[in-house]
Structure 1
């Protein structure tokens, strides 16, 4: 199982018709947890990998978590994000992270960009805050 840091920018991205804010993502975890996610380049994601959702603004923090459901697949209709994958938000972990997020200042990776693997030094803190 790999752990991915997935970056959302609430100013640029929408999810399921709403803003990609921690509050909206928590609501999705409760009502519609399986979501399609987008990538600009393919990643070696596999079913069961975790995605840790990092919100880029206004407060830089990890405040949600989900599990990858399928490997990324290509789409032809989106030149900016030509790859998609499905992931299911983990309601309890997302709630725990929403209540006690991991802030950027607490992480080893001080310049997260795009979608990248979680640094091994950051994983214990993420798991603890998520209640896993």
Structure 2
């Protein structure tokens, strides 16, 4: 199993025509947790991997978590989207992270890319805050 950080910029990223902010993801986790997220490259995600959602604003922090359902796949219906990865948002973990997010400084993040692996030193903190 691998752990990934997925970057969401609420000023740029949308889901269901709404800004992809912490409130939107929390609502989805509680009401409709299965979602698909866009990837610029396929990555090596496999079912069971965890995805930690890092929101760039208003405060740069991880405030949601999900689990990969299927390997990333090309989207034949949208040539502008390279890949989609189906993820089930974890309601309890997302609620816990929403209340007490893990900030950028706590993660030891340098340059932030769209998707990257979680640093091994940061994983115990993420798991503890999410109650996993």
- Quickly name the TM-score band, shorter chain normalised: over 0.9
**Structure 1, unaligned runs of 5 or more:** none
**How far 1:14 moved relative to its partner?**
0.8
Whole-Å Cα distance in 2 between the matches of residues 82 and 5 of structure 1? 18
Residue aligned with 1:73, SS? coil
**1:78 and 2:79 equivalent?**
yes
SS at match of 2:52: strand
1:20 corresponds in structure 2 to 20
Question: Aligned equivalents of 2:53 and 2:68: distance in 1?
Answer: 12
| Aligned position for 1:89 | 89
Alpha-carbon distance in structure 1 between the residues aligned to 2:75 and 2:101: 33
Root-mean-square deviation (CA, aligned residues, Å) is 1.0
Distance in 2 (alpha carbons) for counterparts of 1:102 and 1:125: 8
Report the Cα offset of residue 51 of structure 1: 0.1
**TM-score between both structures, scaled by the size of structure 2:** 0.95
2:52 aligned partner: 52
Question: What is the total number of aligned residue pairs between the two structures?
Answer: 131
Alpha-carbon shift at residue 109 of structure 1 (Å): 1.8
